[in-house]
Chain A
Amino acid sequence: MSLQDDFELIKEFLIESNENLSKIDQQMVEIEKHPGDAELLASIFRTIHTIKGTCGFLGFSLLEGITHTAESILSQCRNGERELTPRVVSLVLETVDATRTILQSIEETGKEGADVWQQLRQKLAEEEQLGTSAEPAQSRRAGNERLAAGAIETLVAAGNAAANTTSDPPAPAAVTAPPDAVAPVSDPEPVPEPVAREPQPAAATNASDSAAKSNVSVADSTIRVDVTLLDKLMNLVGELVLARNQILQHSASQEDANFVSTSQRLNLITSELQESVMKTRMQPIGVVWNKLPRVIRDLAAICGKEVRLEMDGAETELDKTIIEAIKDPLTHIVRNCCDHGIEDPATRLSRGKPAHGTLSLRAYHEGGHVNIEIADDGGGINTAKVKAKAVERGLLRPEQAEHLSEREAINLVFAPGFSTATKVSNISGRGVGMDVVKTNIEKIGGAVDLTSRTGLGSTVRIKIPLTLAIIPGLVVASGGQRFVIPQVSLLELVRLEREDAGRLIEKIHGTPVYRRRGSLLPIAYLNEILQLNSTGDFESVNIVVLQAEDRQFGLVVDGISDTQEIVVKPLSKQLKGLSVYAGSTIMGDGKVALILDVMGLSQRAGLSARESSSNTQQAADGASVVERQTLLLFRSGSYERLAVPLSLVARLEEFAKDRVEQAAGRPVVQYRGNILPLVTLSDHLDGPGGGPQASDKVQVVVFSEGDRSVGLVVDQIVDIVEEEVAVRKPSRHHGLMGSAVVGQKVTDFLDLGAVLEWSGEQLTSPGAERKMRPLLVVAEGCPLERGLLRSYAEMLDCRVVEAASVSEAAEAVAQKKADAIVARPALASEIRERLPRALVYDVEGRDSMVRSIQALGAALGAKAEEVEHMAGVTA
């Protein structure tokens, strides 16, 4: 059926039109009493106009014809060219009835039905002509009688004209029509007889057509409900599900057969009710998609491109809240595809593609999820351009960029502050975009993935849950507590016998892994992540294999019980900061259980592995402060992992070996118009000649202070990582400050003081400098802004504590003995009020941060001198 595709659209049209028509009935009666009410008239006009417009769009020409003429007549009334006589009112009402009949026919058969509306059309046409030909003033003065007399003449003329112009077979009917049609004219009553008579034949045929179908029309079977009421219903059903779970659990231990069977029945009914209520909140994704053709048309016009939109699966249903949540991200992606993806027609033709680009949207269900694919056949993502842009934006260092895989490079698009559009248009290119898309989709538990083939196009895949309120979950136990893992992230369950487990779970540098069908699966222990005590004395080891974004890991739990439908309840604000939980729920026995956040767990797992491998050190150094640092990792000689804080590194360079010269018996290179002394790290750590230097290039880490620099020759730059370096073990080896676990591996921290000593340069004593690194509280409500300010401060070699509010800042000052607080002026003044004794600096951007920290340095210097002075006095 050709109309099947438009079925949804037509259904909506029917509901809306029927609602509007019943409104018109009332309004017409009303307007007869107050003919001067312009607002009422305008409203009636609008309704007819809307119906006409939609009919045209949907291809219902018959209905369009009728409503069009009625609209013209109403328009004349509205403009004051014609008076709203009872005759006109009757005619409009007649039109309304006709429209209703046709709508009914459309609903039942999908067609407008036989054209039995000749009379009406003629009356309308005649009335319309009357309005334009007759002088309004005259018609106003004229009584109904005179008008009727005139009307007959015009009517006959019009009837003939209609018979001549319309080639429709039933045209002759028009000839017999006039006598009937006169009836309402001569009748001063506003309800004319034909109105009642007209629809009858149509209704009769329709009734027989739809004998098999339901007698309830779409309009009658639909009501509009407030969304808040649906939300409340959903909540109540959630409660009911919980109560049901409790009763079921209870009934398992009951003997009473009657009770057991009743609770079974309750179980079924609840499930069905839950499903139905969920359905009330479901909307087809087409609701969002419908807006896209227009967006694309406009966009294509602006960009001078030709874009064709294909949609598949518009009927795929999603929860209303999710529909709302994906609206903006979806529009953004589509815009991006148009703006960046699809090339202009000339380029396309030169590449052997059709001039018009194709953008295809596809949505489908897949195991409790909805997948949405947005694909274009444009140029794909130019990874070189992306990398260059990332370097330009300071998101990436040039050295890193070279080593990025294709996939990593593509995913840079999702990095905050990234946009490849060379010029800022009003469409895109403002640097807020894909990162927001990603966060918004992740917020509703979804995932975004971007793939691209150069020259062939790119595809964005969005995977989102159907609903957020009730989800299936796996109940597991760990450390004597129960936890729920959302089924969505669950891949499989692996059970190992105790005796095999030791052999099958292998260790790489203390990190447990499991060989799962030939590939290594990292293993994490839930009780370790959550710092729970587990007896660990179980017959078997249960591994829950989970998918966290693009990686998989195995979570070892003490026990696995079963899967349940759980109602997700958010955590209170006191617990919001815990990324390992997605929420909480009430279990069958009425107790509360926590829902694990797989993503948060996997992030935390890295951390916990670090902690567990260095438990002993932690015990020795209980007062270690957790501090997040960006570290440069490199390799030298026998030292596989060395680190320095990136904030101390000025540049990374690569020199050809033959550029290394000698100055006063020490190796140097000419560098930026200066002489850069080089220190070969392996000579000092491993002894002279310790490190093999087969390559003809040397990798140099440059440290600078003012215009003096030192170059440290290392074997290889490994990585740049940002980590919380929680635990440190002091080292006695000269040149090393100590060790810590970074990226789950033990890493030695280089003592820059020693490097400078070796170089013979005297910058400032780095030991003293380290002690002097001020501790700064960055107070800012917006996380993004806070991160930005933090990065400025860290670049200026400060230690940073973040605070989201005034009270957090106050706490940080009190507990961590921070040296100063920086904040935006508004917040800063608030802080000053609260903490009159603290050093508070206003910052707006990088420059003011530099000034603040200089001022802070001066203030702290003065303080230090004072302390020294005091010490001198007491001594």
Chain B
Amino acid sequence: MSEQYSTFYVGDLFFGIEVVKVQEVLRYQEMTGVPLAPEGVRGLINLRGQIVTALDMRHRLGLTPRPPEVTPMNLVMQSDEGAVSLLVDEIGDVLEVDSDCYERVPDTLPAAQREMIAGVCKLDGKLLLVLNTERAMQMQ
């Protein structure tokens, strides 16, 4: 058994999402800011007539704000309640990962980060963190 993951980078973290959950990947889009919105919400994008909320993964993961020279990419994800876009630093390849490599998140991770990670895949030379998409889309 193996699973395909669409991968991306946020800061120096290497993340993956099950490929079936990903709708599309887009270059940076112009956004409409939402005043008073929770901090993780960066704005609204017009995706061919559909309005999609963009969440800043750096903020969701409690990382430092993205430096201005890095233009984020949109990783549009399907969910039960419509599409949501995750703003990430860089898009990686789609990787096929053997399910033997999958492991639970070590308990020693700080609670805030641990919640966002569903599991860890041990790859050659690096670790792929599987994003807990449900948690990532949930504000408070």
Contact = CB atoms under 8 A, between A and B. Distances in A.
A573 B84 CA distance: 10
Interface string B78-110: 000110100000000000000000000000000
A165 interface: no
Contacts of B32: 481, 584, 591-594
A530 B111 contact: no
A586 B48 CA distance: 10
Contacts of A594: 32, 34, 44
Interface string B28-54: 001111111110110111100101110
Contacts of B38: 574-575, 577
Given A575-B41, A590-B46, A569 B35 contact: no
Contacts of A30: none
Interface string A822-837: 0000000000000000
B58 to A, nearest CB: 16
A807 interface: yes
B53 A808 contact: no
Contacts of A592: 31-32, 43-46, 51
Which of B31, B32, B137, B138: most chain A CB closer than 10 A? B32
Given A580-B36, A814-B111, A586 B51 contact: yes
A497 interface: no
B35 A481 contact: yes
Contacts of B131: none
Contact of A574 (B49, B51, B53): B53
B1 interface: no
B140 interface: yes
Nearest to B52: A572
Given A572-B82, A592-B46, A578 B53 contact: no
A243 B38 CA distance: 31
Interface residues of B, number: 31
A267 to B, nearest CB: 18
A193 interface: no
A449 B38 CA distance: 35
B57 interface: no
B50 to A, nearest CB: 8
B70 interface: no
A811 interface: yes
Contacts of B51: 569, 572, 584-586, 592
A586 B53 contact: no
A479 B46 CA distance: 21
Nearest to B80: A573
Nearest to B30: A591
Contact of B35 (A242, A530, A584, A811): A530
A478 to B, nearest CB: 9
A496 interface: no
Contact of B36 (A242, A569, A578, A808): A578
A520 interface: no
Contacts of A581: 34
B34 A578 contact: yes
A239 B48 CA distance: 9
Nearest to A593: B32
A479 B138 CA distance: 28
Contacts of A807: 115, 135, 138
Contacts of A590: 46
Contact of A239 (B49, B55, B82): B49
Tell me the dominant secondary structure on chain A's binding face: mixed
Nearest to A243: B49
Contacts of A531: 35-36
B30 A578 contact: no
Contacts of B37: 574-575, 578
Contacts of A585: 51
A572 B46 contact: no
Contacts of B45: 592
A532 interface: yes
B35 A572 contact: no
Contacts of A578: 34, 36-37
A574 B112 contact: no
A430 to B, nearest CB: 33
Interface string A582-624: 0011100011111000000000000000000000000000000
A531 B34 CA distance: 11
A572 B53 contact: yes
Contacts of B115: 807
Contacts of B82: 572
Contacts of B46: 586, 590-592
A573 B52 CA distance: 11
B4 to A, nearest CB: 26
A574 B115 CA distance: 17
Contacts of A243: 49
Interface in B105-140: 111-112, 115, 135, 137-140
A813 B49 CA distance: 40
Contacts of A574: 37-38, 40-41, 53, 55, 84, 137-139
A572 B84 contact: yes
B11 to A, nearest CB: 21
B140 A811 contact: yes
A445 to B, nearest CB: 19
Interface string A479-511: 101000000000000000000000000000000
A575 B35 contact: no
B115 to A, nearest CB: 8
Contacts of A575: 34, 37-38, 41, 53
Nearest to A803: B140
Nearest to A590: B46
A26 B82 CA distance: 46
A808 B140 contact: yes
A590 B37 CA distance: 22
Nearest to A814: B111
A531 B49 CA distance: 28
Contacts of A242: 49
A216 to B, nearest CB: 37
B121 to A, nearest CB: 24
B49 A481 contact: no
15 contacts: A481-B33, A530-B35, A569-B51, A572-B84, A574-B41, A574-B139, A575-B37, A581-B34, A586-B51, A592-B43, A592-B44, A592-B46, A807-B135, A808-B140, A814-B111
- Listed from nearest, the 8 A-B pairs whose CB atoms lie closest are A530-B35, A572-B53, A592-B32, A592-B44, A574-B139, A569-B51, A239-B49, A584-B51
Given A580-B36, A591-B46, A593-B32, 11 more contacts: A242-B49, A481-B33, A572-B51, A574-B38, A574-B41, A574-B53, A574-B55, A575-B37, A578-B36, A584-B32, A807-B135
